[in-house]
Amino acid sequence: MELHAPFIKQAAIEVGFDACGIAAATPLTEEEWGYNEWLSNGYQAGMAFMEQHRDMRSDPTLLVPGAKSVIVLLVGYKPSQTMQGPARIAQYAYGEDYHERIKRMLFQLITAIRDRYPDFEAKPCVDTVPISDKQWARRAGLGWIGRNTLLVNPTLGSYCNIGELVTPYPTDQYDTPIANRCGDCHACVDACPNHALSESRANSSAMPSHSMVTTEGSNHALSESRANLSAMPSQSIVTTEGSNHALSESRANLSAMPSQNMVTTEGSNKVLTHSHISTFPHSQINELTNSQINELKNSPIPLLDANRCASYHTIENCADSLPPDIHLSKFAFGCDICQLACPYNQSAAVRYQLTDEHKKELEELRDADPTAFKHATKHTALNRIRHSQWIRNQNSCR
């Protein structure tokens, strides 16, 4: 049984996903991802679970025997406004826990696909199984890995959650990566108060995402643009109501990156340039020349040291107190500072309406006792932390 890719993508739109791309389920390579090297640098900090299931993270056939396709879905979460105050939470944590929401949508998509393919089977993944979400989203043409170490989607920015359906069925079309569009911008790197973001010219390395240090440890390995390696085919963004940003790209348009006027950075006043657009169809990984491989190995790699990241410390660090040299910037859960600096996020589609009622609920959390905190956060991303961490984090904000 071969699945018709446009049907899958249309079904994804109808379920409510903002974007869908499909990648062939061939294993990620070290040049492409560099996960082992990232681990060897110790950037995983205290997240020992990141050292487990290394092979499965890069090879979906170890997760789903005979896997042929990884269907990647994005849900944007940029809110209509941001929470202020002395104890803020990262924007992805507003509202319903994205694990629950996306898992529900993935099952709805499976049901929709079975309308046409009754035998369809797939494993739904939302950050809770060892699969590298960002890398698969990149492979599926849904964005690039920015210097903020996150997937950056042209429409949603880095404000997007990722889910996957790993299936043993092939599709009739596969997507391939789009160009990295960070250009010369370093706004996220410059904005980080803890100097957690950097770039390396060392051999390919990667690290986990800072903004979604979640149940399985995020599986957010980083990669960086690979200059001028090859062309890329169409990208596969699909959108739903509210965003109205239907994207398309063609091979002829590779150099037509977002308007340079549009994407000036806030923190550094640098204008993005796109002189070394990189594209990297994974289907050609094994066909690179030696010179291209050397270029890959010498390309700057975005690095995030979780030891220096406020998001890691507010969520994953369970110690009684936090390192005094880690600046929380008023965030008591997660940290959005580097994402707020990104020009793609400033122009990103709003996907979540923050109401006065939501704001009130979040504000009431500040003084919640352990029982109230547990109850109020049960179906939110904040259920990742204990009440004692919440209190510690708030005190550290002051």
Q: How far is 53 from 256, CA to CA, in rounded Å? A: 39
Residue ranges binding ligand SF4 (CB under 6 A): 146-148, 152, 182, 185-188, 192, 194, 196-197, 210-211, 304, 309-311, 335, 337-338, 341-344
Nearer to ligand SF4, 335 or 349 (CB): 335
Nearer to ligand SF4, 69 or 205 (CB): 205
Nearer to ligand SF4, 15 or 301 (CB): 301
Q: With CA atoms as reference, report the closest residue to 50 among 40, 63, 59.
A: 40
Place of tokens 């924007």: 91
To the query of whether residue 127 is one of the catalytic residues in this protein, the response is yes
CB of 296 vs ligand SF4, minimal distance in Å: 19
CB of 308 vs ligand SF4, minimal distance in Å: 7
CB of 183 vs ligand SF4, minimal distance in Å: 7
Nearer to ligand SF4, 60 or 343 (CB): 343
CB of 92 vs ligand SF4, minimal distance in Å: 11
Contacts of 256 (CB under 8 A, 6+ apart): none
| Catalytic, out of 18, 97, 127, 175 | 127
Residues annotated catalytic, as ranges: 127
